[in-house]
Amino acid sequence: MDVVVITNGAPNLARLAAILAGVPRGSVAIQIRDKDLDGGPLLELARPIQTIAVPAGAYVWVNCRVALPTPARGTWVPGTGPGPAVADVPR
C-alpha cells in the first residue's frame, strides 16, 4: 500500500472511484472517519465506499469508538477503547 485516503464525513464517491481507477490495484487504503458519528451512521458511510473499494483491491479502515460488524479490513479504536481481545474486529 502506498497511499491512504482519509475521509472526513461522506466522500465524493465518483472522485473516490476515479482515484482507485487511476492507481495500481492494492496500492490504496481508505480510512473512514467522522468524529461526530458513532456505530450505525458510521457503518452507513462505510457501505457504499466498500462497494467501490473491494473491486479495486483497496483496504478500508473504519475509525470507530465501537466495534462494528462491517466488511472493513480494519478498525481504529482509541487508546481508551476496548483492547483487541474485546473488540470484534473482522478478519
Nearest to 42 by CA among 86, 75, 12: 75
pLDDT bracket for residue 72 (50, 70, 90):
low
Most confident of 37-41, 44-48, 50-54, 59-63: 50-54
Q: Would you say residue 69 has pLDDT above 60?
A: no
Pairwise CA distance, residues 21 & 36, whole Å? 30
Position 85 scores a pLDDT of 45
- Does 87 or 47 have the greater pLDDT score? 47
